[in-house]
Amino acid sequence: MNYVWHLLVLAILYALLGSSLNLLCGYTGLVSLCHAAFYGLGAYCSAILMTKAGLGFFPAALVCVVLTGLASLAVAVPTLRLRGDYFILATLGFQIIVFSTLQNWVSLTNGPYGITGIPIPSIMGFSFDSPLLYLLLTVIVCAPCAAATRMLVQSQFGRALRCVREDEIAAASLGKDVPRLKICAFVIAAALAAVCGVMFAGYSRYIDPTSFSVAESIFILSVVIIGGAGNLAGPVVGAAFMVLFPEVIGFIGLPDAVAANLRQVIYGVALVWLMRFRPQGIVGDYGFD
Amino acid sequence: MQLLLQLVFDGLVLGCVYSVAAVGFAIIYNTSRIFHVGFGTSYLVAAYTCFWLLAHWQVPLFLSVIAAIGVAAATGVLFELLIYRPLRLRGASLLVMLISSLGVYVVSVNLVSMFFGAETKILLAESAKAFRCGPLLIASTQMPQLFVAMLLLVVIAFATRNSRAGRALRAARDNPVLLEATGTDLDRLYLVLFALGSALAGLAAVLTSLDSGIDPNIGMPALLTAAAALILGGIGTFVGPVLGGILIGLLQGLALWQLSSRWTDAVTFCVLILFLLVRPQGVLGVVRRVEEVAD
Q: What is the pTM of this model?
A: 0.90
Q: What percent of chain A has pLDDT over 70?
A: 99
Amino acid occupying residue A252: I
Confidence of residue B294 (pLDDT cuts 50, 70, 90): very low
**Distance of alpha carbon A288 from alpha carbon A174, whole angstroms:** 23
Confidence of residue A6 (pLDDT cuts 50, 70, 90): confident
pLDDT value at B293 more than 70: no
Min mean pLDDT across A136-140, A195-199, A259-263, B114-118 is at A259-263
pLDDT in tens, B238-292: 778 888 899 999 888 888 887 777 888 888 888 888 888 877 777 776 665 544 5
pLDDT value at A266 more than 50: yes
Min mean pLDDT across B12-21, B39-48, B264-273 is at B264-273
**Distance of alpha carbon A155 from alpha carbon A88, whole angstroms:** 27
Cβ contact A186:A76 at 8 Å: yes
* Residue A164 to chain B, least CA–CA distance (Å): 14
Q: Quick one: DSSP state of residue B128?
A: P
Which of the given ranges, A15-24, B115-124, B204-213, has the highest pLDDT on average? A15-24
* Arithmetic mean of pLDDT over chain B: 84
* Arithmetic mean of pLDDT over chain A: 88
pLDDT value at A221 more than 90: yes
Confidence of residue A129 (pLDDT cuts 50, 70, 90): confident
**Distance of alpha carbon B168 from alpha carbon B176, whole angstroms:** 9
What is the per-residue pLDDT for A72? Answer: 93
pLDDT value at A198 more than 80: yes
pLDDT value at A245 more than 50: yes
**Distance of alpha carbon A83 from alpha carbon B4, whole angstroms:** 38
Min mean pLDDT across A207-211, B111-115, B136-140 is at B136-140
**Distance of alpha carbon A103 from alpha carbon A209, whole angstroms:** 6
Cβ contacts from A onto B, under 8 A: 138
* Residue A241 to chain B, least CA–CA distance (Å): 16
Of B83, B106, B217, the CB nearest to A268: B106
Average pLDDT in the B13-40 region? 90
Phi then psi for residue A119, to 5 deg, are -65, 150
The H-assigned helical ranges of B33-175 are 38-57, 61-78, 85-90, 94-116, 142-161, 164-174
pLDDT in tens, B204-225: 999 888 878 888 888 988 998 9
Nearest to A28 by CA among A224, A283, A226, A277: A224
pLDDT in tens, B54-96: 888 888 888 988 999 999 999 999 999 999 999 988 888 888 9
Identify the residue among A275, A286, A289 best suited for mutation to test binding to B, counting B beta carbons within 10 A and taking the highest: A275
pLDDT value at B295 more than 70: no
Q: Is A94 on the interface with B (CB under 8 A)?
A: yes
Of B95, B105, B269, the CB nearest to A288: B95
**Distance of alpha carbon A135 from alpha carbon A119, whole angstroms:** 17
What is the per-residue pLDDT for B25? Answer: 92
Asked if A268's CB is within 8 angstroms of B107's CB, the reply is yes
CB neighbour class for A67 (10 Å; exposed up to 12, middle 13-18, buried from 19) = middle
Contacts of A279 in chain B (CB under 8 A): 92, 96
What is the per-residue pLDDT for B158? Answer: 78
**Distance of alpha carbon B247 from alpha carbon B268, whole angstroms:** 10
**Distance of alpha carbon B231 from alpha carbon A52, whole angstroms:** 41
pLDDT value at A37 more than 90: yes
CB neighbour class for B57 (10 Å; exposed up to 12, middle 13-18, buried from 19) = exposed
**Distance of alpha carbon A77 from alpha carbon A80, whole angstroms:** 6
B226: nearest CA partner in chain A: A89
Contacts of B97 in chain A (CB under 8 A): 275
